[in-house]
Amino acid sequence: MTDENFYDISKWPIGDPHKDIGIVINSIIADIKKRQSESAVTGEGKPGATIFIPSGDYRLSTQILIDVSYLKILGTGHGFVSSSIRYNTPQSQWKDMHELWPGGSRILVDIAPSNIPDEKSGAAFLIERGGEPRISSVEFSNFCIDGLHFRADQIVPEDSENSYINGKTGIYIASAQDSFKFNEMGLVYLEHGLTIYNADALSIHDNFIAECGSCIELRGSGQASKITDNLIGAGFRGHSIYAQNFGGLLITTNNIFPRGASSIELDGVSRSSITSNRIHAFYPGVISLKNGCTENLVSSNHIYRSQEPWAPMRQYNNGHDDLYGILRIEGSDNSIIANHFSEIIDRDNIKPTGTIPIIIRLVTGQGNYVAANNVVARTESMQQVTDEGPASSSSTFSTQVEQLLTNSASEKIDVTTVLVEDSSSLNTILDSGNERQVTLDKSHNAFRPTPSL
C-alpha cells in the first residue's frame, strides 16, 4: 500500500525497529505532526495515519508517546501464547516445544527497571495530551505486547516468573480521551495490561489479555464504554477487569479465567451492566461491587469458583476467605438476576475450617433486587496435580480441562446462597435459595424462598 499517511515500520528510514521500535514509531509520529500541523486547511482536517507492524519481533527500549488523534497502529497477528506454561515447564523440555515465545507482530518490552520510577514510566505506549479537544480515535489492532519476564519480590522471593510484578504496562492512557479502540490484541506478562484514565466511548473488544498482573483497569472516571468478547485472566493479586467511577459501562460475553484476585471489580460504578460472561476463579470475591455502586445489572453470568489445581501456584491466594462472598455488594438498587453459580471445592479447602461458604453477600446499601439465581455447590471429583514439581504444558492443560468437565463422584456441600448484613436493608430476595440457605432479617427485607423437596 502506498499512501503518505500509511507508514510501514520496516521501511521507515529512521532507526531499526528490531533493535528499538520505540525510536521508529516516535519518529513517525513526529513526521505526522510536522505534515499535519494545521487544524483546518480549506475545510479539511487532520486525517491522522496508520502505522503498520509486520510479523516479527521488535524490541522496545524507548517509550512510545502518542499525542495525536486519528492514529491506528496495526499488526498481522496477536501472537498470544502462554508464557506461564513455558516458565513452569522444566527447561530440559523446552527443546521439544514447537514454539517458545509469543509470535505474530510482537513488541518485546525491554524497558530497564532503573528507568521505571513510576507506573507511567513503565508503559510501552504512553498516550498523553492536554488541551482541547480530548485526544480521540486512537486504535490498537492485531499485535502482541510482551512484558517478557516477571521479577521476584517479598511475596514471591524465589519463583520470580510467577510474581506478576515487573513495573511494565502495555498501554497507559493518562489523558481524558474519546472513542479509543483496542481490537484483536495480545498482551502477556505485563504487570498492567491496559491502564486507562477518564475514558469516554471506549471499546475493548476481542482481545487476548492474560498472564498479566492486572488486565484491564479503567481509572479516574468514565462513561458509555464497553468491554466485550475478550479472553482475560489476571494474576493472584490483580484485577481481570476493574472500573472506577464509571457510568454506562457494558461488560458482556467475556471469558474470564483464573487467577485474578478479582474477576470483575466495580468501584463507585453506576447504571452499568455485567451480563452473559463466563467467569472461572480460584478465590472468593469473584465479582465485587464496592463503594456505593448503584443501579447496576448483574445478569445471566456463569460464575464458577474452584480450587487452584496447579501445584506451582497453590501457595498463592487473594487474601479472602470463603465468608467474603463470591459476589459481594456494597451499594443500592442493583439487580442480580438469573446468574448461575458453581461452587466446587473440597471441604478441607474451605477457609476458615468448618465454616459455610457464602455465595452472594449484601454488605451495605438498600433496595437491591436478587432473583432467580441458581447455585450448585459440590466437592471436587478429580485428582489434583501432584506436588512433586511443575507440570508440563500438556499435563497442565489436561488437568485444567479435566477439572472443568468432571462431575462424577462428588458430594453436595452446604452454602449460604445469600447473606444480607444488618447494614443492608429493604432488599428483595426471590428464588435464590431455600429457607435454610438464605440469611437475612425478614423484618427489613422481602424474601421468597426457592421451593425445596
| 24-79 residue pLDDT tens | 999 999 999 999 999 887 778 899 999 999 999 999 999 999 999 999 999 999 99
**Which grid cell is 98?**
514447537
pLDDT band for position 408 (50/70/90)?
low
Please give the pLDDT value at position 388. 40
pLDDT at residue 399 in the model: 63
pLDDT for res 182: 98
Nearest 5°: CA angle at 176, between 228 and 237?
55
Q: Residue 383: its pLDDT value, please?
A: 46
How many angstroms separate the Cα of 266 from the Cα of each of 22, 36, 173, 291, 327? Answer: 34, 40, 19, 8, 11
Domains along the chain with CATH numbers: 1-212 (2.160.20.10), 237-453 (2.160.20.10)
pLDDT at 382: 56
Contact yes or no for 93/392 (Cβ under 8 A): yes
Q: Are 120 and 163 in contact (CB under 8 A)?
A: no
Confidence of residue 154 (pLDDT cuts 50, 70, 90): confident
Confidence category of residue 451, pLDDT binned at 50, 70, 90: very high
Rounded mean pLDDT of the chain? Answer: 93
At 110, the pLDDT band (50, 70, 90 cuts) reads very high
Task: Supply the pTM of this predicted model.
Answer: 0.94
> Which of 432, 300, 295, 440 minimizes the C-alpha distance to 363?
440
Distance CA(402)–CA(67), nearest Å, equals: 48
Q: What is the dihedral of CA 385, 386, 388, 390, to 10 degrees?
A: 0
Quick check: 393 pLDDT over 70? no
Can you give the three-state secondary structure of 260-307, one letter per residue? CCEEEEEECCECCEEECCEEEECCCCCEEEEEEEECCEEECCEEEECC
**Across 177-185, average pLDDT:** 98
Q: How many CB atoms lie within 10 A of CB 317?
A: 17
- Pick from 430, 435, 429, 428: which is nearest to 452 by CA? 435
CA-CA distance, 405 to 116, in Å (whole number)?
Answer: 43
pLDDT at residue 152 is higher than 80: yes
